[in-house]
Amino acid sequence: MAYTTINKGSSYFDTSLWTGTGAIQSITSLNFQPDWLWVKSRSTASNHRSQNSVTGVTKGMNPNQTSAEDTLTDCVTSFNSNGFTLGADSQGYVNTSSRTYVGWSWLASNTTVSNTSGSITSTVSVNTTAGFSIVSFTATSGVSSIGHGLGVAPKMIILKTRNQVAGWITGLSVNGWDKYLTLNSVSGNTTDDRMFSPSAGTDPTSTLFWSDQAAIGSAGTMIAYCFTDIKGYSKFGSYTGNGSTEGTFIYTGFKPAFVVIKNTSQNNDWIMFDSVRNTYNATNLYLLPSQNDAEASGIGDGLDFLSNGFKIRSTNSTVNNSGNTYIYMSFASNPFVTSGGIPVTAR
């Protein structure tokens, strides 16, 4: 399948900031109608919140927890052509008065199709241009194959059981599909080839990934977020820490808008940076996907977001322990290959 180089990342991914009102309000800063929205309070310790269009906008889960899906009619109440609408929010996830929030949004297709490529029929919203699909399916006992719709092999999959208490199982090709990380946990790599493959040495393909319910826990309704690299827009990779403030430079081929990093060698938090909360370098305001903590800036100079990648500027073990291996996911602000924007100030 042919893919088109993306010239404007904010047509497919974007970051929004707002202040809660405790009353219905609409966020209208996007260039698209989102299919996946991830929200976190910046000013207060509270749970992360994930909601998507495939399972229904009022249904959601908390990425920092193992809890099952719930239905909240006063949280995110609709996805709109230029953003989303927030309810009065009795839980405090997205719109409590005077709290500040950040939301990360991704565009799939704004519609769903049935995918019959696997042994289980999945419901998929896919954007092949952006290399992103949301996949819903009901798993049965044993090993099941699931169609993801990307047309190329995924580079990253985040898998969560919706109707049961379970972790957010995260696999990356660069990490090896015989290993996984858990988004809601500080743990490093766990070796188990049953999460995304039917057997040892068999990786997800251009049409399928696999799920072994004996490994995940038990059969149930599932959601998967699948990604692949797209030139000028997204990159999923790894680097080795050197323990220096002159840390590793990671080439992505674009100026990052959003970067998530995880130490796979030891127990450390996942950590999230973006170019909207930090509009110039150093990019050091961070949030932790595995924790409910408020926004902080306590890991030195963090990262520099550059025109074609990012550079580590901290010696903190969360991003730069000498000899440790780190994985990352990144999405573009302005593509390096056809950059029309003003670069972030580099040092």
* DSSP secondary structure letters along 269-301: --EEEETTT-SSSSB--BB-TTS-PPPB--STT
State the pLDDT at residue 108: 98
Closest CA to 72 of 102, 98, 50: 50
Distance CA(225)–CA(50), nearest Å, equals 11
List phi, psi (to 5°) of 189.
Answer: -60, 140
Per-residue pLDDT band at 219 (split at 50, 70, 90): low
Distance CA(288)–CA(41), nearest Å, equals 11
Per-residue pLDDT band at 123 (split at 50, 70, 90): very high
- Report whether pLDDT(337) > 70: no
- Mean pLDDT (the chain) is 91
Per-residue pLDDT band at 309 (split at 50, 70, 90): very high
Query: Average of pLDDT values for 314-330?
Result: 97
Q: Are 132 and 233 in contact (CB under 8 A)?
A: no
CA 181 to chain CA centroid, nearest Å: 13
Query: Average of pLDDT values for 292-306?
Result: 92
In the chain, domain spans: 9-106, 113-227, 234-335
State the pLDDT at residue 193: 81
CA dihedral defined by 314, 317, 323, 324, rounded to 10 degrees?
-120
Per-residue pLDDT band at 9 (split at 50, 70, 90): very low
Place of tokens 């996949």: 135
- Report whether pLDDT(4) > 50: no
* DSSP-derived 3-state class of residue 186: coil
Q: Categorise residue 88: left if φ over 0, alpha if ψ from -120 to 50, beta otherwise.
A: alpha
State the pLDDT at residue 263: 97
